[in-house]
Structure 1
Amino acid sequence: MPNLEVDSENPAASQKLAGNGLALSAATLLAACGGGSGGTGDAAQAPVTRSPSAPISDVQAARFLVQAAMGATRADMQRVQDLGYAGWLDEQLAMPPSPSRWDWLVAKGFNASTYRNTESGWDAAAWRKMVASPDTLRQRVTLALSEILVGAIDGFIGGGWRTFSAAAYLDLLEANAFGTYRNLLQQVSTSAPMGEFLTYRGNVKYNAATGALPDENYAREIMQLFSIGLIQLNVDGTPKLSGGKPIDTYSQDDVMGLARVFTGWDYDLAGGDTSTPDFKRRPMKQVASRHETGEKSFLGITIPAGTDGAQSLQKALDCIASHPNVAPFISRQLIQRLVTSNPTPAYVGRVAMVFIDDGQGARGNLKAVIKAILLDDEARNPANTANPAFGKLREPMLRFTSWARAFQVNSPGDSWPVGNTSDPATRLGQSPLRSATVFNFFRPGYAPPSTAISSAGLVAPEFQITNESSVVGYINFMQKAVANGINDLAADYAPLLALADNASALLDELNIVLAAGRIEAGTLAMLSSAVDAMPRGSDSTRKNRIHAALVLVLAAPDFIVQK
């Protein structure tokens, strides 16, 4: 394959493809991404009326899967066309979970004591599910939840076995991805990994003799990040105002009162000890002698003195989960992770109403919420593909899985050696469950400063991890993965061989499967000209042409910006 590698020491420099005049400029690519990111605010496109029985085109099916899946194949697109959008969602929602990360790690022997103080096995266990699990909707929602209820392997500290803490936590999110948000909060709040990450495992009550107070970390973050946010919201996600100013959702007194609930929780070592990782996936247990039994007042409620730890937690989570902010706060973030960075208030409001009541009296039914997000007219309306204020930057992990799933990437040795892809200069700049902080890889309200996006009052969260270095690192990493695989990890390009001698046909296919038909005709013509200048006629030259075409599409702003 011709060398497309961009100079990471000089990221603004352009490298030409085999002298054909096609330049990949990191600075140009970054600027182009900025022009297409963001979402729709007041400039929402008018809804269109479409027959529910109207055929779904290839482009429409591919676009739906960009939002709903970890990647798409022609077979996946055909399934959407056969079942319809709602039918495909119902099939995915009913699909049994694929084997867990935990069980794969045990089968591979990573529970041996030699691995206790390492992270060995984690990246393979995580990427294996993201790339190959058939329950693609569940994997996409699990990824979204992991970026809202954030935990990270480097913060899972206590008792060793960080790999198994990470597996237990992501398996927990996956197991509850289609349940209720109230139950998800329960599972997260009693999980050993979260107890480690936000430092309330072993949390003790107030000590009058020493002045020690309960750790407030989780009490603050469960409100700020996991449920209600910092300011009071209307059901459509817009701020409630008093005197023209937003209204806080909680105070420091609320944090202090809620922190008393999260005292006395610790590992459940029943039936064993820390010599095996099993305690990492058992819910934490309550140690009565460490629990604060006095009154606990927060968010307008008071848990009476003498209430035990388990009951206190139930009452606290019932209070939090029923707060009016939860529906718009969580609905908006799920829309951001799946569809668009800037959903209209009307879109948020429609989804939030389903969160409040799924039509059968249930609150926080994530199955219903996910369907509402993906079937909403704002998500499905094809007019929004032409709206420059609609869409989102694809996060790097999803760019990788889009390629991997489209071409049946597999690991014959079942080793899944993708590795830690966190380095932005040489890899993706993002890796599963490796956020540096509890605030995720990027904040939902981030707007790149001094850009048209921020000037328009829009946000573009993924741009917080996007810069010239990361753009270059991504392209170089993908070039190597496309052409050479990663150790035994390899793609199957056999279906493309028959198209390889015809650059236009090859690029048309890649445009549909990877970019949902978003790459404009002028760009396709330029790419086609570059690929057509390469040798053809043999299997080796065809493979080179496929590799080059793939890298060019994966680097194209119209692929990187999801519409």
Structure 2
Amino acid sequence: MRQRFIYIGQKAGIAVMLSIAMTIAGCGGSSGSENTGDESDVSGINSSINTPPTTQPDNSNDNDSDSSGDNSANSGSEPSTGSDSDTTVISANTADDVFSSTNSTARFLGQATFGATPEQLTQLVNTSASEWFKQQISLSPSLVLPTVEGYRPEDEEDDFNLFYIEATSFGFWQNSIMAADQLRQRMAFALSEILVVSNGGGEVLTDVPEAVASYQDILIQQAFGNYRELLEAVTYSPAMGYYLTYLGSEKGDEATGRMPDENYARELIQLFTLGVVELNLDGTVKLDDNEQPIETYTNQDITGLARVFTGLNLNETLVEESIGLAFSAPMQGYAESHSSKEKSFLGYTIPANTALQSSIDLALDHIFTHPNLAPFVSKQLIQRLVSSNPTPAYVEHVSSAFNTGSYQLPDGAVIGAGQRGDLQATLAAILFYSEARATPSSTNGKIREPILRFTHWARAFNVKNITPQYQLLLWDTSASSALAQHPYRSPSVFNFFRPGYKAPGSESASQGLVSPELQITNASAIPGYINFITYFITGQQQDADFKEIVAELAELGRQVSEDEIRNSFRVTYEAELALTSDAAALLNHLDTLLTAGSLSTDTRQHIISTIETMKDSDYDDIDIVHIAILMVMTSTDYLYQQ
């Protein structure tokens, strides 16, 4: 990989909680630390029909001295980009009453943001959710790259700087917890689990944090844009180019046997746009005359498409100035490395001698017109935001909004640019469709991701001084002893979990339901999460020894006192302490704030009984608050977000 990278130079209550949380394992988390999903399970359907194409590639003519191509394809014609969308406006067809109660407001915000805050619940109840949505899409984006640049060493040859390396995480935690543009940030995080880039490999994407920071900013800036434009920005991203190894990919060479790198071509189709089998608009699988799924692509398609992405590399001029700057800018095209051959894929041929940028434009345009795109992307976005098992009607509703590019909110306002792939319209359809707003049930929700549990806690209890740079636990939460998940640090391009994962031996699997997030739930992750969230809930972060951090910051020219660090992520629980004399009132408050009123009778009774026992045993009020919050946040009612 580095050989092709031609421009880089040198360079309290735990036992009780555990007994409760172990019931999660009964939902079907994996028994070990390794993921067990089929890597071909990428369309959100039953993995038994998600087998990748088995056709062998024809590589005999891939060097540029030969000519090849599917001459029966639609050679030379430019594909439609879908700009003339269906003029039909998809409508929510629901009343603008989402914010009619505190619980319904909290539920909506739990889907659309990184968690509701008490201030939001006070301000938004009995107002218009449509107005809130429109206000959110009007806000300027909060970006990550400025945070990274704030830690960049003056000299790139400076000693190893962990604060600089981990600054992408600092930016994520700050934005997800504090940023005003919550809807944008939440959508960007959902997109990051589809268009995956990871800096967990300990190589260039770790050592040059500008790469992933710039990628984060692409998703943030494009979160309300158009999926076609997003795909283009992703394609030219140095982070994606390095992660999927096409940065520096060169045209084929007959003399050496060199072939264009196929990684991005494969994942662009398989994971980012179309999936492996053809879909109906409602996300169900199309079947051929023999009642078998129809494969979306063959390996010959991948071989042809791979030629499109040859010749991309870092901007040579910027590399001379700064490697971080080069990784912050789009990749450049180098004609001498780009394949001049025909590029045939998915029934379409780009003529020989087509320039690099034109080849990429034509390829993305053609993929963008494929009928699989809308249901494939729409269903995964629904899974990330609202429900793991959306009905076909729900998927079709969102897919239609994706295709038309317009959506009518409950207040009658129409949003979206009217172009196929509009993400504002798609997101509105996801959040306002009747199924998303229906009475919660055991099948129309999702497991709450560990990252979202932590951000929810921080927002729900008005945690002060969001300074993740002072919290070593937040520098990497990937381990099962922490959250078993860290932003932009997936173990592979297949994300932390597969969209079609069914937990072995679980009740949900027996009903044919998928539960993607359970793929990272196992015997280690359960107590790991409990210990992690206990650490923050109970304020243990204020009791650590900060001398080492103070010293390291001083070396960077940052004068910070231990007291300043000790106040990091401080929470006072004033509202909760005022309710400890009334166990039911305290739990009602937590029920709304954390579970949008969905705590079961059994869970409520168990927690109230525990609180009363603690009161009889003369526990301090703060201990009661800590245990009450911990019991809610480790209950199945909380972990399953409805």
TM-score by length of 1: 0.89
Instruction: Verify: 1:203 aligned to 2:249, yes or no.
Output: yes
Match of 2:434 among 377, 381, 385: 377
Which deviations, in whole Å up to 9, do the C-alpha atoms of 1:201-236 show, x marking residues without a partner?
000001010111100000000000000000011111
Secondary structure in 2 aligned to 1:67?
A: helix
Q: Which residue of 2 aligns with 1:478?
A: 533
Secondary structure in 2 aligned to 1:233?
A: coil
Tell me the number of residue pairs that the alignment of Structure 1 and Structure 2 aligns: 531
Secondary structure in 2 aligned to 1:297?
A: strand
Q: Is the 8 A contact 1:130 1:401 kept in 2?
A: yes
Which deviations, in whole Å up to 9, do the C-alpha atoms of 1:24-71 show, x marking residues without a partner?
34432322688xxxx999xxxxxx996435861111111111111101
Q: CA deviation at 1:454?
A: 1.7
Q: Which residue of 1 aligns with 2:376?
A: 329
Q: Which residue of 1 aligns with 2:86?
A: none
Match of 2:491 among 420, 423, 436: 436
Alignment of 1:23-422 (within 5 A): 24-31=19-26, 51-52=95-96, 56-98=100-142, 100-109=143-152, 112-113=155-156, 114=158, 119-155=165-201, 157-158=203-204, 161-242=207-288, 243-273=290-320, 275-359=322-406, 361-382=418-439, 385=440, 387-411=441-465, 415=469, 417=471, 418-422=474-478
Q: Which residue of 1 aligns with 2:13?
A: 4
Which runs of 5 or more structure 2 residues have no equivalent in the other structure?
1-11, 30-43, 47-91, 407-416, 543-567
Letter in 2 for 1:443: R
Of 356-365 and 228-237, more deviation after overlay is shown by 356-365
Secondary structure in 1 aligned to 2:541?
A: coil
- 1:315–1:466: structure 2 CA closer, same or farther, 3 Å change rule? same
Secondary structure in 2 aligned to 1:83?
A: coil
Distance 2:270 2:541 in 1: 39
Letter in 1 for 2:608: S
Identity of aligned residues (%): 40
Alignment of 1:481-520 (within 5 A): 481-486=536-541, 488-520=568-600
Distance 1:401 1:300 in 2: 45
- 1:517–1:259: structure 2 CA closer, same or farther, 3 Å change rule? same
- 1:391–1:363: structure 2 CA closer, same or farther, 3 Å change rule? same
Q: Which residue of 1 aligns with 2:638?
A: 559
Distance 1:443 1:486 in 2: 33
Distance 1:54 1:461 in 2: 27
- 1:366–1:412: structure 2 CA closer, same or farther, 3 Å change rule? closer
Match of 2:625 among 542, 546, 549: 546
Distance 1:355 1:278 in 2: 34
- 1:536–1:141: structure 2 CA closer, same or farther, 3 Å change rule? farther
Distance 1:55 1:157 in 2: 46
Secondary structure in 2 aligned to 1:250?
A: coil
Q: Is the 8 A contact 1:193 1:280 kept in 2?
A: yes
Q: CA deviation at 1:537?
A: 12
Distance 1:544 1:159 in 2: 42
Q: Is the 8 A contact 2:26 2:506 kept in 1?
A: no
Distance 1:366 1:65 in 2: 18
Secondary structure in 2 aligned to 1:402?
A: helix
Letter in 1 for 2:150: A
Q: CA RMSD in A?
A: 2.5
Distance 1:254 1:505 in 2: 61
Q: Is the 8 A contact 2:114 2:186 kept in 1?
A: yes
Distance 1:529 1:159 in 2: 50
Distance 1:414 1:473 in 2: 19
Match of 2:500 among 445, 454, 471: 445
Distance 1:335 1:328 in 2: 10
Distance 1:481 1:139 in 2: 23
Letter in 2 for 1:420: D
Distance 1:376 1:272 in 2: 47
Q: CA deviation at 1:452?
A: 2.0
Secondary structure in 2 aligned to 1:238?
A: coil
Distance 2:521 2:98 in 1: 39
Distance 1:395 1:53 in 2: 27
Q: CA deviation at 1:139?
A: 1.3
Secondary structure in 1 aligned to 2:589?
A: helix
Q: Which residue of 2 aligns with 1:44?
A: none
- 1:54–1:16: structure 2 CA closer, same or farther, 3 Å change rule? closer
Secondary structure in 1 aligned to 2:604?
A: helix
Which runs of 5 or more structure 1 residues have no equivalent in the other structure?
6-14, 18-22, 42-47
Letter in 2 for 1:211: G
Q: CA deviation at 1:414?
A: 6.8
Distance 2:189 2:635 in 1: 24
Distance 1:154 1:55 in 2: 40
Q: Is the 8 A contact 1:124 1:415 kept in 2?
A: yes
Distance 2:469 2:122 in 1: 30
Letter in 1 for 2:381: L
Q: Is the 8 A contact 1:156 1:162 kept in 2?
A: no
Of 543-552 and 245-254, more deviation after overlay is shown by 543-552
Q: Which residue of 2 aligns with 1:20?
A: none
- 1:175–1:228: structure 2 CA closer, same or farther, 3 Å change rule? same
Distance 1:135 1:376 in 2: 22
Letter in 1 for 2:130: A
Secondary structure in 1 aligned to 2:349?
A: strand
Letter in 2 for 1:406: A
Q: Is the 8 A contact 2:27 2:508 kept in 1?
A: no
Match of 2:609 among 517, 529, 539: 529
Q: Is the 8 A contact 1:182 1:318 kept in 2?
A: yes
Letter in 2 for 1:486: Q
